[in-house]
Amino acid sequence: MVRGLFYACELRDQSDARNRRGRGLCFTSSVSFPLELCESVSRPVMASSSEESRFVDDLKRRRVNISLIDTQISGVIQRVTQRRSVLLEDVYEVKSGRKFPGVKIIFGHEILKVEFPNPEKLAPEESHTHSFRKKTADDVLEDGVHSVLIDELQEKFGPAVMHIQEQKVIGISAEVFGPTAQERLCWLQVATKKVVYLFDILLLGGQAFKNGLSMILENRHILKVVHDCRCITRCLREEFRVHLTNVFDTQVADLMLFYNETGGFLPDRVGSLQEVLRLHLKLPPADLSPLCSKELQRKECPELWYIRPSPPALMTVMSASVRHLLPLRLVLLDALMSDYTILVDAYMSSYHNQSVHIEQSEWTLPAEAQELSSVRQERMDWATGRYDLTEDGLLKRSSFNTQTHSTSNSR
């Protein structure tokens, strides 16, 4: 009798098996398995690493029936993770026949019984539900930025965490699934200057944060650049009890810059990442196309971020959503500080241009500072002449009458 479905890939010694019993996929002897599994996979009780790998590979693409506490489901094994979880695709409930979209993760402690109705391996097939489900490579290289996929707590994970911890500034983004306030974190993207790390949180789970990601995200000495921090902050806190700190939000910076440039008007909506990148970094359409197609892909396939393995098209989208955040921060900072810089220059030039030095109290408000009020009024006049106003007194972003809106135009 086989003691567990994935005994070979989990068991290292007898004492370790006793410690893990009841909390992983290392089941007790009360769980029985069909004889076909034992006959189809020949392996010793104490398997080597290569034998373990072959054992797990032999299970892939097989249909399996899994009995849970309240139901029984059937699905095709896509992957077995180091966290003793099973990833199933083409999943349906045995009793009702109800199908589940995307990939379903079953944790070891949830499983009561496992059966293989068909011992034959299923041939790999393309998904008929979505055109983006294709085989993908681990690493891709685009425009000098190295993109690294991390879906296991081995090999790449440790070096990635160490590299990120050495940074002073990083970009972060996330892909979630579900309605607002009930999102589930599927992917976490972290960008340094030359590397984008794509952490598959759906597979890594909470162990990814316990093994280093939480220390990075909660580190007050590492600045995290993000576009709209609300969703990622909520997901990290609610799902993993991770509190994001030291954040520079590019969406907030763009909002503040809009407020300054228009003399105190607010826009009718916040700017999307592609809008902000086009406006401030002047990126060409080719670089923005992955972001522009993101919403369309979501509509075509709501379970988009559940697809495993992740196809190259989605990896490109995820990389694009984070790889420009670091240069974007610098441009926004310069723009936000421009008024300050101009006023300091005015202070300097006012002294040098005076033919006769006029003594005044150091607490007197300089004439250059008093001009800020007139500058603000000029900007308000400029904004009302180029934007339509809503009933609430907000400026419609989409109504701007030229293609480009820059700081120089507003002054």
Mean pLDDT, 10 residues at a time, over the chain (411 residues)? 36 36 34 37 48 66 87 85 75 86 77 76 40 41 76 90 96 90 90 95 92 96 97 94 97 95 93 93 88 78 79 88 95 93 82 58 76 88 91 90 48 38
Q: Which position has the token pair 């590397």? A: 195
pLDDT of residue 134: 37
- Among candidates 326, 12, 355, 344, which has minimal Cα distance to 171? 326
- Among candidates 292, 253, 296, which has minimal Cα distance to 407? 253
pLDDT of residue 314: 87
pLDDT of residue 146: 87
pLDDT of residue 406: 45
pLDDT of residue 21: 36
Surface-to-core class of residue 101, CB atoms within 10 Å of its CB (0-12 exposed, 13-18 middle, 19+ buried) = exposed
CA separation for the pair 142, 144 (Å, rounded): 5
Q: Which position has the token pair 């002047």? A: 282
Q: Which position has the token pair 């008093």? A: 370
pLDDT of residue 355: 52
Would you say the C-alpha torsion 161, 165, 168, 174 has a positive or negative sign? positive
**Model pTM score:** 0.68
pLDDT of residue 83: 62
Question: Residues 140, 312: contact at Cβ < 8 Å?
Answer: yes
Say how many C-beta atoms besides its own lie within 10 A of residue 283's C-beta. Answer: 18
CA torsion angle 401 403 407 411 (round to 10): -40
Pairing of β 104-107 and β 85-93: antiparallel
Residues 6+ apart with CB under 8 A from 53: 9
Convert 143-156 to b/e letters by CB count within 10 Å (16 or more is b): eebebbbbbbbeeb
pLDDT of residue 240: 94
pLDDT of residue 54: 65
pLDDT of residue 135: 37
